[in-house]
Amino acid sequence: MRTVKKPGNRAESDAVEVDGKKGAIPAHLASVLLLRGRTRLILTAALLAFYLLVGLPFQEWLGHHSNAVVIIVVFSLAWIWGRFPGGLIAIGGVLVNAYIANRTGVDSSPAISVAVDAVAIGGVAFLIGHVAGILEGALGAKERTAQAYDELEAVARDRMLTITDQVPIGLYRTTPDGKVIDGNEALGKILGLADKAELSEASVWDYYIEDSDRTEALRYSVDGSRAWTEFQLRKSDGSIIWVRDWAKAVLDEKGETAYFDGVLEDITEQRLADERFRAAFEDSPFGMTISTADGRIVRANRALAELLGRPLDDLAGMHYSAFTFDDELELTPAALEKVANGESVRYEKRFIRPDGSFIWALVSLAPVRVASDLPLFISQVMDITERRRASQALEELVRSKDELIASVSHELRTPLTVVHGLAQELNSNWVSFTVPEQKEFIGMISHQSAEVAHIVEDLLVAARADIGKLPISVGSVDLRSEVYSALASVPDLDVELEQVGSTTPVAFADPSRVRQIIRNLLANAHRYGGSQVRVRYASENGRAWLEVCDDGDGVSGTDAAKIFEPYERAHNAVGQPMSVGLGLTVSLKLARLMGGSLSYSHSDGWSVFRLELPEPGAVHVGPAR
């Protein structure tokens, strides 16, 4: 690129600089060769004075050689004025000199000879002037080109200054000792300076808080790594700011640092935002992660570590697949599309803990908008295990309610249908039935009505026990007598009774509730048990106990834990109507309310339900559990 130092006056310039190098034409010599302005007039006057003071006075002495003086003068004038003016001056000068020489008698050449000499000298003068004109044009073109470059450089410099002043980040050039050579307006604002005048007098080293920051910035600038560095500066008003700096050392011909060029950016707000984000991230009560697009964790908080039951240090670098079920690794196509478009998505998934258990979590995933080549995503993980359990429990409750309604409807419809049918038949055709038939019908109505009453009673007991308002009236209860009373409600059941020991067991309990428990156990054996049913009872160690046994298939180990839960049925016997599923639940609650217990076991081909109650004076009645 051609650069030209711009002088104030071209004729008084020290040098012309072409292509970055000093030219061989000094300014005063260029002025003589170009012969412009005052130089042209001064040389013309000097030549005329030379002719008048030397040529004419000594013309007679010089004789014919006086033409040489004329030639020197006219050729010089031709050089000065160039081309046609120079030629005309030469011809005119020869003619004037010939006229003067002829009049003075120095020369008496014929007129034709004088004219030829004038034309010849004029032609040579024209050529000399032409050469001078070519040289003048060349030098003038260089000057015009240099001037154009000067003007372009000035415009570019002004435009660059305007642009740099409009840039919102600081641009600077400093000496190795920190003195500011140049800087834009943004740099002054960052340092808290009012104008560029103050900036030109400033030293950037004065604004560093820590010497280590200055040392690090110098090291990066000099060793060529030119990395961005972040540190704190103290502004001129004493306030502290965070800045990001990038600098490059420019070396001189000796390889030493001539100055530093750099960029300075105020990142205080960004740092504050980062710190707020960091605090919110670390202190969040929910699990938080920053991860790559392929699911590898870059950063996690302590809440997530506690949620997953893993050390926090182990999570960094871990892949989500390490604690995610294989069928839940991939997002749905719709979710992937939303994330790709920069939107956030929410979904539920399970996370596996080291002990093999898992939790349900609600995950919110969104892309992180940062200036990075590596796309990052931020996730919020909220434990919803209890909510899922509650939801499942609610679904199960709704299902159980529907089953309860279906079961109650079924169980009530069967005896009520019998009662209604028999009562209607007796009402319409009473006289057509014999007395034994009438008694049989009435007995069937009584039995089926008792079945309805027992179902309703179980429902009422279950409801009252749940709210703690089930009345219990305790007293001495003969278990054998209550067995006989309960058997009356299941006349179709063939039961083998066995008293263990010689003493009839007597319990301290509510007779009606004991009877209800025995009746439910017998009904359960009749409905789901085998063909043989045995009732054993005894008294030992201050406890009266009773066992209802049957030789049925029994209940598996997993279902055994659920048979006492409301509305649960371990199996449905073929040919038997569906039960409400409350009999065993109610029996267990009643036994506990009376200070006793009810348990199930299966051994040696027998299913055994064992009821234990305290004997009189042994234990008081406890609350429902």
Residue-wise pLDDT for 210-237, tens only, equals 888 777 777 767 776 666 888 888 888 8
What is the rounded average pLDDT of the residues 161-166?
63
Query: How deeply is 150 buried, as exposed, middle or buried, from its count of CB atoms within 10 A (0-12, 13-18, 19+)?
Result: middle
Chain position carrying tokens 């200055």: 214
* Average predicted confidence (pLDDT) for the chain: 75
Q: 241, 35, 16: which is closest to 132 by C-alpha?
A: 35
| Sign of the Cα pseudo-torsion (33, 39, 43, 44, in order) | positive
Most confident of 91-100, 109-118, 335-344: 335-344
- At residue 13, does pLDDT exceed 70? no
Over residues 82-107, mean pLDDT: 59
Q: Is the pLDDT of residue 174 over 70?
A: yes
Whether residue 512 is predicted with pLDDT greater than 70 in this model: the reply is yes
Nearest to 285 by CA among 366, 382, 387: 382
The pLDDT of residue 2 is 35
Q: Regarding predicted confidence, which is higher, 342 or 32?
A: 342
State which fold the 284-383 domain adopts: Beta-Lactamase (3.30.450)
pLDDT at residue 208 in the model: 87
Average pLDDT for 510-518: 88
Mean pLDDT of 11-27: 40
Nearest one of 580, 582, 612 to 597, comparing CA atoms? 612
CATH code, 387-625: 3.30.565.10
Mapped onto helix, strand or coil, the DSSP state of residue 472 is coil
Rounded-to-integer distance, Cα 296 and Cα 329, Å: 12
- Residue range 97-117: average pLDDT? 57
- pLDDT, tens digit, for every residue of 244-294? 888 888 888 888 888 888 888 888 888 887 788 888 888 888 999 988 888
Place of tokens 């009530």: 412
The residue with tokens 């199960």 is 396
Round to whole Å and give the CA distance between 600 and 564. Answer: 9
pLDDT above 90 as % of the chain:
11
Q: Name the band, by pLDDT with cuts 50, 70 and 90, for residue 165.
A: low
pLDDT value at residue 12: 36
> Beta partners for 287?
381
Mean pLDDT of 417-425: 82
Joined tokens for residue 98: 């010939």
**pLDDT at residue 346 tops 60:** yes
Q: Would you say residue 554 has pLDDT above 50?
A: yes
More confident residue, 59 or 511: 511
SS3 of 157, please? helix
**Structure tokens of 248?**
């490059």
Separation CA 583–CA 578 (nearest Å) = 12
The pLDDT value given to residue 69: 64
Contact predicate 78/87, CB 8 Å: yes
**Identity of the highest mean pLDDT range in 405-409, 513-517, 563-567:** 513-517
Contacts of 16 (CB under 8 A, 6+ apart): 4, 23, 25, 27, 30, 142, 143, 146
DSSP structure class, residue 561: T
Structure tokens at 268: 């205080």
Distant-in-sequence contacts of 370-377, Cβ < 8 A, 24+ apart: 374/292, 375/292, 375/293, 376/290, 376/291, 376/292, 376/293, 376/298, 377/290, 377/291, 377/292, 377/293, 377/339
Q: How far apart are CA 566 and CA 306, in angstroms?
A: 35
Average pLDDT over residues 429-445: 82
DSSP secondary structure string for all residues of 89-103 = HHHHHHHHHHHHHHH
Highest average pLDDT, of 40-44, 538-542, 609-613, comes from 609-613
The residue that leads in pLDDT, 171 or 407, is 171
Domain locations in the chain as residue ranges: 10-162, 167-271, 284-383, 387-625
Q: Is it the case that residue 20 has pLDDT exceeding 60?
A: no
User: Higher-confidence residue: 15 or 237?
Assistant: 237
Per-residue pLDDT at 345 exceeds 80: yes
- pTM of the complete model: 0.43
Question: Judging by beta carbons within 10 Å of its beta carbon (0-12, 13-18, 19+), is residue 539 exposed, middle or buried?
Answer: buried
More confident residue, 120 or 216: 216
- Sheet (strand 597-603) strand order: 495-499, 533-540, 543-550, 606-614, 597-603
CB atoms within 10 A of CB 380: 21
Q: Which residue has the higher pLDDT, 533 or 471?
A: 533
How much is the pLDDT for 399? 77
pLDDT at 168 over 70: yes
**Higher local confidence (pLDDT), 465 or 433:** 433
Q: Please state, as a whole number, how many other Cβ atoms lie within 10 Å of the Cβ of residue 568.
A: 16
Same fold, 284-383 and 387-625: no
- pLDDT at res. 338: 80
Would the pLDDT of 192 be above 70? yes
The string of pLDDT tens digits covering residues 31-47 is 445 555 566 667 667 76
Q: Average pLDDT in the 568-590 region?
A: 64
Per-residue burial over 174-194, b = 16 or more CB atoms within 10 Å of its CB, e = otherwise: beeebebebbbbbbbebbbbe
Residue 124 burial (C-beta neighbours within 10 Å; 0-12, 13-18, 19+)? middle
Phi, psi at residue 369, to the nearest 5°? -90, 90
Average pLDDT for residues 458-477, to the nearest whole number?
73
Longest CA–CA span in the chain (Å) reads: 198
What would the mean pLDDT of 128-142 be, rounded to a whole number?
Answer: 64
Closest Cα to residue 323, out of 288, 349, 286? 349
Residues 292-321 pLDDT 10s: 888 889 889 999 999 999 999 888 889 888
* Whether 555 contacts 570, CB under 8 Å: yes
**What CATH number matches the domain at 167-271, 3.40.50.10800, 3.30.870.10, 3.90.1150.10, 3.30.450.20?**
3.30.450.20
Length of the chain: 625
pLDDT at residue 485 tops 60: yes
Q: Which pairs with CB-CB distance under 8 Å and at least 24 residues apart come from 326-330?
A: 329/295
Of 32-46, 185-199, 328-342, 530-544, which gets the smallest average pLDDT? 32-46
> pLDDT tier at 568 (50, 70, 90 boundaries)?
low
